[in-house]
Amino acid sequence: MPIPRQALLAAMLMASAMPATAQTTLRLDRADYFEAPGVNWLVFSNINEGLFADAKISGVELIQQGVRTATNGDVRLAATPGQWDPAAAFVRRHVDKATGVIEAVMQYPDFQYTVRAERRGGSVVLSVLLDRPLPAAQVGKAGLNLEFVPSAYFHHSYVADGRPALFPRYPADAMQRTAARNAASGRSDGPGAEPLPFATGRRLLLAPEDPARRVGIATRDGSLALFDGRNQAQNGWFVVRQLLPAGRTGRVLEWTLDAHSMPGWLRPPVIGHSQIGYTPTGAKVATIELDRDDRRALQPRLLKLDDAGRFAPVATALARAWGNYLRYRYVQLDFSTVTAPGTYAIDYGGIRTAPFPIAPGVLQTVWNLTNDVYFPIAMDHVAVNEAYRVWHGDSHRDDARQAPLNHEHIDLYRQGPTTDTPFKPGDHIPGLAVGGWLDAGDFDIRTQTQYQVVRQLVDTWETFGIDRDTVSVDWPARRVEMHLPDGTPDILQQIRHGSLQLLAQHDAVGHAIHGIVEPDVGQYTHLGDAASKTDGLVYDPRLKPYERADDSRGSRSGTPDDRWAFTSKASALDYGSAAALAATFRAWKDRDPVFARRCLDLAVKIWADEHGHAPDLFNHGNTTGGPLEMEEFTAAVELLAATGDQRYADRVQALTPAMLGSFASMATVMAKAIPYMPPSYRSQLEPSARAWAATARAAMRANPFGVPITSGGWAGSGAVLNFGLTAFALNRAFPDLVDAAPVFRALDFLHGHHPASDRSFVSGVGAVSKEVAYGSNRADFSFIPGGVVPGVLLLKPDYPEARDDWPFFWGENEYVVPEGAMYIALANAGTRLARDAAKVTIR
């Protein structure tokens, strides 16, 4: 809420004379970080994991009153470093709980340093130690940075050496022109610019008026500078920085950090529950997440809304203690016995959830936004319109140029020593400007995504027969109209759109390619309308920059903004494409036999070609397909289902022993083959299905939510979706061994029953959902309806995070297309299981 003017002025005047803000002595005994009530200082508990140089999870970090507000406390080579700017490599870390000291040794190519954090009462004294003087090349560049997330300080004030001011809501600082940074930073085209600090001083006090955000920073020598990184990139943070001095060794820089602590502070409870509600016959469990020091013996209450608009308590069993998980304590309320339809809420100690229904069919329409809105918006090479709103124009009509040889792209693509195509580096490859989905919050076409999504959608079409029609697709006109039926089921149109890109790749170069992606960081970081990222005109090197020509060769330009196609041959990608095309044949054979036959003929040809030579094993990042045998097995299963040909059954059988070793990730594909294989094949799978069921039951003991919760730099909604879909597939194949409960646990998790928050991870679905997320419109702090975000990110050693106020946390908030397809499938699986359970109950 905005701060009243008089209160703000009073806070500023008080702050000018404020001493250190922390009141409670920090402890370093029960965890490997400093803590006091409402304050945690993490010191290199997390380090950059290599996917990108800067995921805003590294170095010295501050969690204040349960919210992580600062990160990247480390020596950096720029005032406002970006995602691809250099960061030091981690060497080692040491925690000395007896003396209250944590040290991390870090290394740049030309110098090594130690960051030392020591407890001093309620303060952390943060130092940089050098064994050798700073190299001359780094003088004026290397400095100690600490970054603060802007959303935590919007509408707040700060004080610099007694001078009060307000944090800027939008960046507008003076800039100084500089030489370009190195190519890795993406600023290689001419001069650049750096922001000047908007505040300086020996002492900074952030948010003096707000105990939940108040932080003091004081330097022993010199001056601190406060920068706004948003001047250079929308995902920039507020950065406190001080340059390292030249010619000195030992303790060359020292800060005193004070974060306001509140004795007796307890994190408010979070009531994890399904934001979409529950079916009368289904399991209903709410999990209350409590501060580990919260020992109050409170009972949650289930409330039902009456006709007068009042909530009244409903009798339930008493809640039970689940135990501890990560840094929190959990209590669970099981209200499965409540079956009366109505509107409900849960109250715990005066904290009340948003309303949710108990009603038949609550799952039936939850996937509609993903189908009707998210998927159309993700379509490339078409213009997408929704009533008065244009989501994006006809994007990437100029696709694509052959990528340079031996080139490693910033986003996990790499071109090998040859093109493996008839084209030379830089040549335009005709025919690729068709079909496909934009990968995620960015704008590349990742082939592995295309074929995964096609297969998932076909499986959904075949299993559930959904025929929803709300979107018109006109491929010749390259136009999509949302909320306008055209007589073709939307899911079939999406299957066709993905397959068109797969077909185009083979037509253009004779094999599947890694994908099509922007050539440089400047275009890669584009936000907004995908159609404005390039000029839509094929690049012609004979033209001058920005020159255009229209003649018998078509419309061309001298602007080299066309995306690059990475084309090194990889057999895994060919098998993956063959699998998707064989599946597409089955979906389309009764509606467009010519198109369907084209897909199947190419799939059969790819299979024959791949078995006619040694496999191409080029591999890089996550853009060259999965493990080769898994991709081949999947292709064999889809071709077997499409043709019934014994040669594919033979290959399924031959590869089955290897697939059983990766059963958790391959179970859905293996189960799909059962109807086309002899009974002995099902018997081979049975022990693994039994073991998977035991693992699923063990998940109930591993965490309070009963699903796999992953760790790492990318959160785990995808793993939860796979868990639910695997349960559904195995329940259908082995109903006596595998129950369907994990399907609903996975859906409840996605809809709000998870750690850290109670928001639904499907934007726009449920009473409260992710409405600030990492889509193409993230700079507007908005969302794309129906998109599924990665969700809960586990920061070491014990902090689950699911931020709702800062969209640029890509590891928590970035939509990716495969999760959308999986969600449509899982929601339909839950709908079918719930309907079947209701029928049994009625009988």
Is residue 747 situated within a structural domain?
A: no
CATH code where residue 295 lies: 2.60.40.10
Q: Please tell me whether residues 239 and 324 are part of one structural domain.
A: no
Q: Please tell me whether residues 338 and 481 are part of one structural domain.
A: no
Q: Please tell me whether residues 368 and 352 are part of one structural domain.
A: no
pLDDT band at 841 (very low <50, low <70, confident <90, very high): low
The reply to whether omega before 400 is within 30° of 0 (cis) is: yes
pLDDT in tens, 71-110: 999 999 999 998 889 999 999 999 999 999 999 999 999 9
CATH code where residue 374 lies: 1.50.10.10
Q: Please tell me whether residues 238 and 350 are part of one structural domain.
A: no
Is residue 81 situated within a structural domain?
A: yes
Domain total in the chain: 3
Lowest-confidence segment of 114-118, 185-189, 274-278, 706-710 by average pLDDT: 185-189
Out of 602, 626, 650, a domain closes at 626
- The reported pLDDT for the residue numbered 2 is 44
Out of 626, 654, 673, a domain closes at 626
pLDDT in tens, 458-511: 999 999 999 999 999 999 999 999 999 999 999 999 999 999 999 999 999 999
- The reported pLDDT for the residue numbered 584 is 98
Do 669 and 685 contact (CB within 8 A), yes or no?
no
Q: Which residues, at least 6 apart from 685, have a Cβ–Cβ distance to it below 8 Å?
A: 656, 660, 670, 671, 674, 733, 734
Give percent of the chain above pLDDT 90.
90
- The reported pLDDT for the residue numbered 51 is 61
- The reported pLDDT for the residue numbered 54 is 80
Q: Please tell me whether residues 164 and 222 are part of one structural domain.
A: yes
pLDDT in tens, 117-139: 999 999 999 999 999 999 999 99
- The reported pLDDT for the residue numbered 837 is 87
Q: Please tell me whether residues 283 and 403 are part of one structural domain.
A: no
Q: Please tell me whether residues 328 and 383 are part of one structural domain.
A: no
Over range 340-365, report the average pLDDT.
97
pLDDT in tens, 790-838: 999 999 999 999 999 999 999 999 999 999 999 999 999 999 999 998 8
Q: Please tell me whether residues 211 and 146 are part of one structural domain.
A: yes
Over range 343-354, report the average pLDDT.
98
Is residue 610 situated within a structural domain?
A: yes
Is residue 568 situated within a structural domain?
A: yes
CATH code where residue 130 lies: 2.70.98
Of how many residues is the chain composed? Answer: 843
Is residue 178 situated within a structural domain?
A: yes
Is residue 68 situated within a structural domain?
A: yes
Q: How many CA atoms lie within 13 A of 316 on its CB side?
A: 27
**The two three-digit tokens of residue 518, written as one number:** 């922007």
Out of 325, 358, 391, a domain closes at 358
pLDDT > 70? residue 397: yes
Question: Is the pLDDT higher at 369 or at 4?
Answer: 369
- The reported pLDDT for the residue numbered 9 is 42
- The reported pLDDT for the residue numbered 181 is 54
To which residue do tokens 């090998």 refer?
Answer: 416
3-state helix/strand/coil string of 239-298? EEEEECCCCCCEEEEEEEEEECCCCCCCCCCEEECCCCCECCCCCCEEEEEEECCCCCCC
To 5 degrees, how large is the angle CA 625–CA 627–CA 631? 70
Mean pLDDT of the chain: 94
To which residue do tokens 């707040």 refer?
Answer: 156
Strand partners, 301: 347
pLDDT > 90? residue 702: yes
Is residue 180 situated within a structural domain?
A: yes
Q: Please tell me whether residues 168 and 112 are part of one structural domain.
A: yes
- The reported pLDDT for the residue numbered 84 is 87
Q: Please tell me whether residues 235 and 110 are part of one structural domain.
A: yes
Over range 275-301, report the average pLDDT.
96
- The reported pLDDT for the residue numbered 180 is 61
Q: Please tell me whether residues 170 and 303 are part of one structural domain.
A: no
d(C-alpha 11, C-alpha 156), whole Å? 11
Is residue 145 situated within a structural domain?
A: yes
Q: Please tell me whether residues 464 and 431 are part of one structural domain.
A: yes
List the domain range (segments joined by +) for residue 525: 363-626
**The two three-digit tokens of residue 102, written as one number:** 């944590």
- The reported pLDDT for the residue numbered 257 is 98
Q: How far is CA 44 from the centre of its chain?
A: 22
Sign of CA dihedral 441, 443, 449, 451: positive
pLDDT in tens, 777-798: 999 999 999 999 999 999 999 9
